[in-house]
Chains A and B, each alone.
Chain A
Amino acid sequence: MALTLLLLVPLVGAVVLLAAPPPTPARPGHRDAPIALATAGLAALLAVAVAIARPVVDAPWIRSLGVRWHFAVDGVSVALVLLTALLGVVVVLHTIVGPPPVGGSRSTLLGCVLLVEAGALATFLARDAVLFFLAFEVVLVPMWVLIRRFGDPHAADAVRADAAGRFVFFTVLGSTLMLLGILLLTHSTGTSDLAALTAARGAGLSTAVQATIAALLVGGLAIKVPLWPVHTWLPPAHTVAPTAGSVLLAAVLLKMGSYGIVRLAALPLPDGMALLAPGLAVLGVVGILWGGLACLVERDLKRLIAYSSVAHMGFVVLAIASGSPTGVQAALFGNVAHGIVSALLFLVVGDLKEQWGSADLTVARAALRDRSPRFGLALVMGLAAALGLPGLVSFWGEFLALYAAWSPGPGRPVGLLRACVVLGAVGLALAAAYALRVARIVWAGEGGDPAADPVRDLHSVRWGLVAAMLAAMVVLGLVPHLLLRLSAPDVEALVALVAR
């Protein structure tokens, strides 16, 4: 019951908000804020309840396709469910206290945000492969509206059209390829139940068939992750999207890709993944280096953080490629870590862009350190986390990823993976370089104009949100076991199953 409610609450809230009549001068729509906040808050409470009680809902839905309304939560998904629901509250609050959106009514914007939240929750909770696909697609149209309609008002219409179009077309191609993989998987195994698929670990399928299915699944999901070289939709989408869209995109939508690789490919198809692992590891490392190098020269701050997302997701993919329980743990931890850090950075940078009017690093501005210390603190902490500083949450994700790839699971090419680890470490150095570059320009004000108008510092609700995320970053960085313990038993059981 709580599970179905968890999915229905944001869905119904979104429908109510989208159906609300557009505000008129006589009757400005003030009702949207309490509705959205109540919905997001209720969903967050339900998510916590679901994480504790771990209920299961399983009912027939589309009988003619054998698709069941089957949702449950386990160690692999619980952290992502919590992250999604809590970030939903953050994004809604952040939007409500901000200035009214330019492209349309705020109630539409909030409706789209809640729809994305509902779709992401359904994706993380689905226990049926076809249901997973259906849920996976839910986020597309609302995200498209967010980018297309509520995108950066300073960007030309053609730029927004390009960004929104790229987002949709890349992801639709990816998810349709994934659908082919899912259909082939269910056709050759006879079930679409994810638990049964994981338990069977590809029994009865030849390695060639497993590799074909895994290639389709990983190929499709890699677009969402995004893995180099199919990452090209991400930077424009992030640059144009409004802050709410950027946060959801980075913190939640990308995770659907990496979570999908773990859930659909890595666990049910161990032999197929073993064949793909070397390629996956190499692409992941190329992504780490590519993203890091791009960040060294990128002029647009939002685009820079988008490229750093490509690099961070490269670590997640490298961890998955290692094929060991530690690797899966590292991937899941890296997912959550990147979710928190990128959400924080996009909140901060989005606010800065709102006030600056652009996010161009070459424009001379007043240093944050002197005039806006709260912004400065949040940015520096976020950058420190992005470069993997010990004591902050990202460190564990990346350290564990490199550790897992150094001592990979059975059947993986040790030499290649270790070479990848070395290159990944170089990527960490690149991350340090670009983080310091940004800190120098924006925080310390190097080459800036001390006389320029300073930005108004973070205050009240938005400062509270940023402070809460900083706290989460530090706490999980100091006590990573809080998060690791959530997933450890399930991951070890599942991967032990897989590793035989």
Chain B
Amino acid sequence: MTGLTFDVVPLLPALLPILGVVGVLLADLVTPTLRRGPYAVAAAAALGAAVAAAPGTRMPAGSARSTLCMDDGLATTLERVSTPRCFWTADSLTSTLQLAACLAAVVCIALAWPRASAPGAPPGHAREPVEATLLLTALSGTVVVAASRDVGTWLVALELATLPIVVLVALGGSRAAVAGAVQLLVTSLVSFALLTLGVALWFLATGSPFLTADAAGAVAGAGPGDTARPLLSLAVVIILAGLGFKLSLAPFHAWTPTAYAGSRTAVATFLATVSKVAALAGLLVVLRAVAVLGTPGLLAVGVLAVLSMTLGNVVALRQDDVVRLLAWSTVAQAGWVVLPLVSVSGLGVRASAGYLLTYVVATLVAFAVVAGTVREVGPQGRRLGAYAALWQRRPWQAAALALALTSLAGLPPGVVGLVGKVVALRPVVAQDWLWLAVLAAANAVLGVAVYLRWLRPVLTSAGADGPRTGGDPGTPDPEAPPRERPVAVTVALLATTAVLVAVSVQPDLLLGPLGR
């Protein structure tokens, strides 16, 4: 018929979340008042997707699971080159990113775990099925974008990973939530426009709808008078700008604090982890394709990276709201994530993915602690003061938070963050851009200041130094109804902390699947 091969196993990481969506919608059709059921289905679907993606991480370098490949008949009608092409290719790096996205989504679902009944909500209007559907849709978009190898799928999947989040933020209902959602929406539209433009330029330059090394390689033979090469460079820079919005890279970061602060903690977690995986996976698809050209370092990436780090760290130093602090820390960390990409090479791509994974694991732990605290003490759990003397009140939680913050700062005992720093700086040094590396080193100091500012109250004894501001944050607001921490949140915290400890002892668990 169409001449398209079809293989279901590699597609499972994307299909299972979609099946989950169908399951949730069907269940909602039958019993529209379910609250926990949809979340259970969503968690199962995301876990299933993770299991499906896991075998791919063990593949040796150079091999990949591909499907939806065209045979020659179809190929020749679409493009100049006639070797078979695949719309879906997942090698170990792609599978690792998919796995990370799925597991991070599971954690987000656990953090958003609903109560058995919502006091005051009218019966028959459960919002949970909608939320579960949106989370799963965004997850499937993320999984697809990592493996997509053609411009159409890539573009649609990126939007699929973004737009549900806009709705999720807006579902918060408060003014802040709407403000955040509107900013996010406007940003995504601008980003989409840029990406479309970039993709169009790509097609113009290569004549191929595929985002593969072969397609980019066709440009390599172009003569000096040919416009293909500059067009391709322009395409890459514009795509970088478009994805810069999604990655929260300065100067495209403005939506980040508003959206984080306006949304529920679990949604902010999703924005900080799964969405970032989607954005970086999209960027890596393009950069791996152009890596064959042996381009000199991308100055634009270096400038954006340093700008992001500096701005993010400096503003984070002034935040007293921990979610806003984490939002600005995302901006700073985005700089570290793209820093290795100044070297458009396998080394740079692996380093960038590796740093992203360390960031995702540490951020998940930090958000899990915040989500638990917010569930317990209400909105004031987002104040920095709520973490004073946590060490004395909740030693294990404090230890998890300390590990997460030191990982983000890149200091032992968060060894994985320290290794991440080594990983991120290696390609820059290999590129011989010492000035950039020195600027990054100065930013490492700023980053330490940011996270120690949060770590200090955590470790301080109650009443040990000076008056504390904002009353006693340790006890819940007497006017608020007594709250409890759902078991799911505790489990999520324990599981993410266990992962963080494991990868701190043996960072290879995280970096190994990305290849050497």
Contact = CB atoms under 8 A, between A and B. Distances in A.
B438 A180 contact: yes
Interface string B1-42: 000000000000000000000000000000000000000000
Interface stretch (B176-184, B254-262, B408-416): B408-416
Interface residues of B, number: 46
The dominant DSSP class at the A interface is: helix
The dominant DSSP class at the B interface is: helix
Given A104-B461, A157-B466, A63 B444 contact: no
Given A133-B422, A168-B448, A63 B465 contact: no
Interface in A437-471: none
A176 B441 contact: yes
B395 A65 contact: no
Given A184-B434, A187-B426, A141 B406 contact: yes
B418 interface: yes
Interface in A205-234: 212, 216
A212 B434 contact: yes
Given A63-B508, A64-B512, A138-B412, A173 B442 contact: yes
Given A134-B412, A134-B418, A19 B395 contact: yes
Nearest to A135: B412
Given A64-B516, A134-B419, A149-B464, A177 B395 contact: no
A133 B415 CA distance: 11
A140 B411 contact: yes
Contacts of A180: 425, 429, 434, 437-438, 441
Given A65-B423, A102-B464, A145-B459, 8 more contacts: A64-B507, A103-B464, A140-B412, A172-B448, A176-B445, A180-B437, A180-B441, A183-B429
10 contacts: A19-B399, A103-B465, A104-B461, A137-B418, A148-B456, A149-B459, A173-B444, A177-B441, A180-B434, A183-B426
B514 interface: yes
A130 interface: yes
B390 to A, nearest CB: 12
Contacts of A64: 350, 354, 507-508, 511-512, 514-516
Contact of A63 (B391, B395, B456, B516): B516
B444 A172 contact: yes
Given A173-B441, A173-B445, A176-B445, A62 B508 contact: yes
Given A61-B506, A140-B412, A179 B395 contact: no
B346 to A, nearest CB: 12
A183 B422 contact: yes
A65 B511 contact: yes
Contacts of B222: none
Contacts of A149: 459-461, 464
Contact of B511 (A62, A119, A161): A62
Nearest to A18: B399
A238 B419 CA distance: 30
A411 interface: no
A102 B434 CA distance: 45
A104 B430 CA distance: 45
Nearest to A11: B413
Chain A CB within 10 A, most for which of B391, B413, B415, B438: B413
Contacts of A62: 419, 506-508, 511
Given A63-B508, A180-B434, A168 B452 contact: yes
A144 B399 CA distance: 16
B392 interface: yes
Contact of B411 (A137, A184, A216): A137
A20 to B, nearest CB: 9
Nearest to B413: A141
Contacts of B354: 64
